[in-house]
Amino acid sequence: MRPTVHDIAAAAGVSLATVDRVLNQRPGVRLVTREKVEAAIRQIGYIRDVAAANLAKSRVYPLVFIVPTGDNSFMHGLRFEVHQATLRASIERTDIRIIEVPPFDVPALVAALDALQGQDIAGVALVATDAPEVRAAVDRLVSERIPVVTLVSDLTDSRRHHYAGIDNIAAGRTAARLLGRFLGGREGDLTVLAGSMLVRDHRERLQGFSAVIAEEFPRLRVLPVLEGRDDPERTQSLISKALSENRNIIGIYSLGAGNRGLIAGLKAVRPERELTVVVHELTRHTRAALLDGTIDAVLNQDAGHEVRSAIRVMKATADGQAVIADQERIRLDIFLKDNLP
Amino acid sequence: MRPTVHDIAAAAGVSLATVDRVLNQRPGVRLVTREKVEAAIRQIGYIRDVAAANLAKSRVYPLVFIVPTGDNSFMHGLRFEVHQATLRASIERTDIRIIEVPPFDVPALVAALDALQGQDIAGVALVATDAPEVRAAVDRLVSERIPVVTLVSDLTDSRRHHYAGIDNIAAGRTAARLLGRFLGGREGDLTVLAGSMLVRDHRERLQGFSAVIAEEFPRLRVLPVLEGRDDPERTQSLISKALSENRNIIGIYSLGAGNRGLIAGLKAVRPERELTVVVHELTRHTRAALLDGTIDAVLNQDAGHEVRSAIRVMKATADGQAVIADQERIRLDIFLKDNLP
DNA sequence: CGATTTTTGATGTACGTAAATCAAAAATTT
DNA sequence: AAATTTTTGATTTACGTACATCAAAAATCG
């Protein structure tokens, strides 16, 4: 049987009320008594029953998710997963509020963050836009002892408690190696397609990608980035133009969203041009393209895992509890046509 | 505020005692009354507070893990992860017992399973050896309403509630495509190294592997399987012999344990022979070999995830609760040197 | 119809913790 | 040493559910 507050009281030779004062850091306990109780807690190995405590407190965790609007598949999926989490909210004692902000809009994001100050909130998860103003706003929340978790896109040098997302440099490096190896020893050009170089995760992916190509695949050359702004039509025209103007392109790395346009562009030149293609984010479209051979590999981050992990971490942080670090590591999924879920 | 039993009672116009009788399926309620209460439950959307119920019941989940002895890195890691879970046992209201049985020993496994009959157990997780006797023993436990989860290795056509492990056919297929693609259009032989063809997961990996090579890489030929019995020395001598006797070998798929021997054998022929190598299970040795270029890719299943997932599923099954299917899907990790955790 | 059985209600205790109140004891100050 | 302040104890209620007991009401039977 696991020890309870009663056991602490008996072991320390004090009353239940005093134990409660120590455990919940209430005033009115002499230092010597406090130390006596703390020693007893350590000695008998007491661990607070969080479920019982939450019951007694009628604890709920008011959580806020700040996610960008925008209609690309990934953000759509992310919002869907947050919404799924709201359906489990009562069971998990959470109360999830979703705030949507325009993408890449730093002032809007900062305003949303600042509006949370002073509110009774057990945690904030946000898809961070990498800007000093955002960093400062996040740090302000942390100063108010509000747990902050970055989601999908991190905010370096900020005081956020946790990042629930993949290592984007590693993702870019992995994409490079896959492309490089799939291309055997062939020589030629690689086109990189991004949403916007303003987003940190896209920059990091490109950085990792370029590094590995330069270091280990000297016969391949990375062309200047095409910015499709996650817009299928723009993406399609960009890629079609690039392919027709440069016959040396033998590989494509699409590190952002807007893959619908890429796939359409590829299908247009399909039988003639032999292209090796690695893209990010598993969607209905990329899945189909992977299966029919239009693309060769999909790198993915599981939005559902990210959301659930963020919730677990926010709750644990709010309670000052430890997390199972290994469980909260978000993994880069690599999908070939054979291991699709 | 989430509705409670009191709200049901008020809504149905009955007493708390009657609600309790309905909720916990106790006798002494007329059919019409029972239906009235059930209607109220549905109508106000009552969900039992599992934490409070477990508190009231002083519920603990006595769980049993049956894992093979054997000193290969993977099983060692699996036992370690189960042990880690026992450290969290009191917090999670679990009481985990580990039973070790000799590997591939069907009678021993059956005896261990049958010994659990009649015991007060909330769930059994086992690394299944694929035999009709084991299947029958598992089905006997399921008949006694004990949740059974297979771990790492599944038991098809049994009545086990859940499988916490990867899709081994998909793993084999993925290995084949990686090898095939990495080899470009080259022609040659592929050696497959297994522990034992008596284990279902090894058979399935081989099946997937052979299928994809045959279908899609006609210039590659799969040689007869070498059975290393997960023994490093035996494995090393097998691989050295194979490599010296057959100069056409250009790729290796190691689908079992005993990779220490494989790596040693590869290093012995390293600069002269150019080999593309895909192995299973990320260990200290395979990680180092991946980093130094001795091997090209590692397929992995995360034992920690498998154990934690098995625990969640057993608890949920014991309570007749739903699981988040997507969260419990065990993924095949593909590691290149760039995305190691 | 009364007697019997079944169903329902009322009530209390428990799980482990939180939080509040009031009285008693101890420490500190004057 | 008395007055004051601080610390401690004892006790109660609450969270939402489980479970037991006993009495009262309703249904069923002969």
What pLDDT digit, counting tens, does each position of B209-243 carry?
Answer: 999 999 999 999 999 999 988 888 889 999 999 99
Which pLDDT belongs to residue B229? 82
In this structure, are strands A61-68 and A94-101 parallel, antiparallel, or unpaired?
Answer: parallel
CB contact under 8 A, B339 and A329: no
What is the mean predicted confidence (pLDDT) over B301-307? Answer: 97
Distance A153 CA to C1 C1' (A): 82
Q: Which residue has the tokens 């400062």?
A: A136
CB contact under 8 A, B170 and A338: yes
Nucleotide C26's nearest residue (CA vs C1') is A30
- Both structure tokens of A41: 């807690």
First to last CA, chain B: 42
Which pLDDT belongs to residue B273? 87
HSE on the CB side for A185, CA within 13 Å? Answer: 2
Mutation target among A59, A277, A336 for the B interface, most CBs of B within 10 A: A336
Integer Cα distance of B51 and B68 in angstroms: 34
Which pLDDT belongs to residue A198? 77
Q: Considering all CA atoms of chain B, what is the largest pairwise distance in Å, rounded to the nearest integer? A: 85
Percent of chain B with pLDDT over 90: 84
Q: Which residue has the tokens 């209460």?
A: B37
What is the mean predicted confidence (pLDDT) over B252-278? Answer: 90
What is the mean predicted confidence (pLDDT) over B78-102? Answer: 95
Which pLDDT belongs to residue A197? 84
* Phi and psi at residue A313, to the nearest 5°: -70, -40
Nucleotides of D under 7 A from a protein CB: 6-12, 14-21
Tell whether B327 is within 8 A of chain A (Cβ): yes
- Both structure tokens of A287: 């899945």
Tell whether B52 is within 8 A of chain A (Cβ): yes
Mutation target among A47, A183, A339, A340 for the B interface, most CBs of B within 10 A: A339
Please name which of A212, A264, A205, A208 lies closest in space to residue A233, comparing C-alpha atoms.
A264
Question: Which nucleotide is nearest to A58 if distance is taken from CA to C1'?
Answer: D15
Integer Cα distance of B171 and B335 in angstroms: 13
Question: Which nucleotide is nearest to B58 if distance is taken from CA to C1'?
Answer: C15
Q: List B164's β-bridge partners, or say none.
A: B151
Integer Cα distance of B17 and B10 in angstroms: 12
* Phi and psi at residue B193, to the nearest 5°: -115, 125
According to DSSP, residue B224 is labeled: P
Which pLDDT belongs to residue B185? 86
Please name which of A95, A97, A195 lies closest in space to residue A153, comparing C-alpha atoms.
A195
What are the angstrom distances between the C-alpha of B266 and each of A217, A323, B238? Answer: 23, 40, 11
Work out if A56's Cβ lies within 7 angstroms of strand C.
yes
- At B258, is the pLDDT very low, low, confident or very high (cuts 50, 70, 90)? confident
- Both structure tokens of A18: 């005093």
Which pLDDT belongs to residue A94? 96
Which pLDDT belongs to residue B270? 80
Integer Cα distance of B191 and B275 in angstroms: 11
Integer Cα distance of A324 and A304 in angstroms: 18
Rounded (5°) CA angle B303-B306-B307: 90
Neighbour-count burial for B167-190, b at 16+ CB within 10 Å, e otherwise: bbbbbbbbbbbbbbbbbeeeebbb
Over the Cα atoms of chain A, what is R_g? 25
Tell whether A304 is within 8 A of chain B (Cβ): yes
Please name which of B250, B242, B240 lies closest in space to residue B179, comparing C-alpha atoms.
B250
Work out if B56's Cβ lies within 7 angstroms of strand C.
yes
Nucleotide D8's nearest residue (CA vs C1') is A18
pLDDT tens for chain A, residues 1 to 341: 789 999 999 999 999 999 999 999 998 899 999 999 999 999 999 999 999 999 999 999 999 999 999 777 889 999 999 999 999 999 999 999 999 999 889 999 999 999 999 999 999 999 999 899 999 999 999 999 999 999 999 998 999 999 999 999 999 999 999 999 999 889 999 999 998 887 888 999 999 999 999 999 999 999 999 998 888 888 999 999 999 999 999 999 999 888 899 999 999 888 788 899 999 999 999 999 999 999 999 999 999 999 999 999 999 999 988 898 999 999 999 999 999 99
Helical spans, DSSP H, in B47-126: 50-57, 73-87, 106-114
If phi > 0 it is left, if psi is from -120 to 50 it is alpha, else beta; for residue B104 that is left
Which pLDDT belongs to residue B127? 95
Mutation target among B182, B306, B339, B340 for the A interface, most CBs of A within 10 A: B339
Mark which residues 161-200 of A lie under 8 Å from B by CB.
167, 170-171, 173-174, 176-178, 181-186
Which pLDDT belongs to residue B232? 84
Tell whether B315 is within 8 A of chain A (Cβ): no
Q: Which residue of A has its CA nearest to B173?
A: A338
Our measurement of the distance from residue A60's CA atom to the centroid of its chain's CA atoms, rounded to an integer in Å, reads 24
Please name which of A318, A324, A306, A325 lies closest in space to residue A123, comparing C-alpha atoms.
A318
What pLDDT digit, counting tens, does each position of B104-119 carry?
Answer: 899 999 999 999 999 9
A289 neighbors A264 (Cβ within 8 angstroms):
no
What is the mean predicted confidence (pLDDT) over B303-311? Answer: 97
Question: Which nucleotide is nearest to B55 if distance is taken from CA to C1'?
Answer: C15
The structural domains of chain B, ordered by start, are 5-48 (1.10.260.40), 57-165+303-330 (3.40.50.2300), 168-300 (3.40.50.2300)
Q: What is the 3-state secondary structure (H, E, C) of B290-334?
A: HHCCCCCEEEECCHHHHHHHHHHHHHHHHCCCCCCHHHHCCCCEE
Integer Cα distance of A180 and B336 in angstroms: 12
